[in-house]
Amino acid sequence: MAHHFANEIPPRLSMWQRVREYAVPPSMIETATARRAVGDWAGACAAARIDVDLGLRAVRDRHGTDPATRLRADLRRLVPDLLRWHMPRIAPDGRLRPGLTLSLARYRGSGPTPLHLVVRTPPAWADAGQRMSLALWEGPGTGSPGPHPHPHPDRRFRLDLHRHLWDAERSGELRRRCGYGPEGTPYVPPPDLGEDLTDGLVEHGSPWAVTRWAAEAELLLRAEGRPRGAFAVRLDARRRAVFELVAPDDSHVPTLRPLREALSPQEVAALPLLPEAAARLLPDLELLRAGLITAERLHPLVAAALPVPARAPTAGPAAEAPRTIQAAQTVQAAQTVQAVQAADPHRVHCRGEVHRIALRDGVLTAVDHDPAELRREELLVALGGPALPCLRAIDSVHRNPEALPAVRERLRHGDVAGALAVVEGLLGPAAVLRDGPLRKELESAAARRVDHGLFRSGLVAVHPASGTGGGATVRKHAETDHRPRLDRHAPPAMRHKRTGRSRPRTGLLR
């Protein structure tokens, strides 16, 4: 039931609805699946826009055969498009969380620190294309992760305990791990979280998966080598709730309760942290319950693990969606035709008649006007005369088409091919873009891709805030009177220049 969303969709669900529509397009899923089916895991990563920064031969030479064999097996089970589907994202536009290093698996090597198969997202100033990179983290102080701001695996965002979010062989565990319960399943009461937390975490529509915290915390503590004990849950930037698992003995399922004794902030920070994937509900599950998405629009592995409820949703944009792909395409085509007939930008009232504007020879043109007449009218416009309504409509479509929001969303999530397909379908493959919002968006996307290339190549060797090595998104700091602040992200060369005693003393030369 989605009656509580009839008036207004929560911003969080609205964001995830746009993410599910644009972030992982069906073409990416199909290409990655086809390459993965023939054993080409590197090609599948390339189709999912994931750069591979590791070599199996180098891992074997440095750490031995056993870690390399396990790493190769995990790479063959990796579903890169499913990993992109479940990656953490930020509001309001739903882009990948920038500057993140997320652990996928851990391996015991020859050293004291376990090896981590990690996926990294670029910083915000270089996130064009929404690309990710796959690498092997060998421990603190080993190797060079390049200019990445946070090369160490993040405790809050980790998927080594949630392999069902990227492993093809364990994707079926999603239904159990996310707490999916269709009608008819036994009701699981939420744990007693105390009076201070119950109202905010257990209320209707809450994004917190409190009924799964005990089971997920048991997995977390077991991975940390602690059979029982306290752990923390990050509620927001300023609050962390501390709980403990208790059980009479090992034969009983542990239960969750708030920690009785108060801990200092330093002690709370040292406790194991429940990962975000375990603390919150699966966004797909919330969208299904709210009627904002159908199973046909989910990732195939997610749709297989989360079957459609027996009773279809009664409200929301996806309430009347068909259940088969063929029917969905038929309905979508019919809706497109109806939309074109209702408000067709390619049908213009010109000189008392309804004229058509369509693609001819790859260019959008006025079909009901003679080519010679169009050339005369274009010359008249160039000399400052009034334009025909057909020519004004063509110019408006080139500069600011109605499909611009869809193009902007695709570019924002890195789907350049999809954005260009929309533009070509609207203006034609041989069209020449004119000055306006559409051309500005495409040029901005191209400039941001150059910034990402500079970041990947390591050519940006100085702090972006200095304005001398960043890209188009950080050039606003390049004013002559701007003095970048020293922080933990500043490179050593800049820190030494600003704080070292070897700086010239100009006052001594007077």
Task: Give the separation between CA 377 and CA 388, rounded to whole angstroms.
Answer: 7
Whether 171 shows a pLDDT value over 50: the answer reads: yes
The residue with greater pLDDT, 15 or 349, is 15
> What pLDDT, on a 0 to 100 scale, did the predictor assign at position 497?
65
Task: Give the separation between CA 318 and CA 345, rounded to whole angstroms.
Answer: 27
Q: Is 477 helix (H, G, I), strand (E, B) or coil?
A: helix
Query: Which ranges of 291-365 does DSSP label H, i.e. alpha helix?
Result: 300-305, 325-342
Closest C-alpha among 504, 463, 461 to residue 486? 463
Strand order through the sheet with 363-366: 347-350, 353-360, 363-366
Of 8-12, 191-195, 432-436, which one has max mean pLDDT? Answer: 8-12
Task: Give the separation between CA 81 and CA 78, rounded to whole angstroms.
Answer: 9
Q: Is 319 helix (H, G, I), strand (E, B) or coil?
A: coil
Closest C-alpha among 29, 308, 277 to residue 168? 29
State the pLDDT confidence band at 52, using cuts at 50, 70 and 90.
very high
Q: Count each helix (H run) and each strand (E run) in the chain, helices first.
A: 20, 12
The predicted model gives 357-382 an average pLDDT of 77
59-113: pLDDT as tens digits = 999 988 999 999 999 999 999 999 999 999 999 999 999 999 999 999 987 677 8
| Number of neighbours of residue 153 by Cβ within 10 angstroms | 20
The predicted model gives 368-382 an average pLDDT of 79
Q: Is 66 helix (H, G, I), strand (E, B) or coil?
A: helix
Of 15-24, 170-179, 325-334, 478-487, which one has max mean pLDDT? Answer: 15-24
Q: E strands within 169-239?
A: 229-234
- Here the tokens at position 109 are 């090597």
Q: What is the pTM of this model?
A: 0.77
Task: Give the separation between CA 290 and CA 68, rounded to whole angstroms.
Answer: 44
Whether 212 shows a pLDDT value over 80: the answer reads: yes
State the pLDDT confidence band at 378, using cuts at 50, 70 and 90.
confident
> What pLDDT, on a 0 to 100 scale, did the predictor assign at position 262?
87
235-277: pLDDT as tens digits = 888 889 999 988 767 667 788 888 888 899 999 999 999 999 9
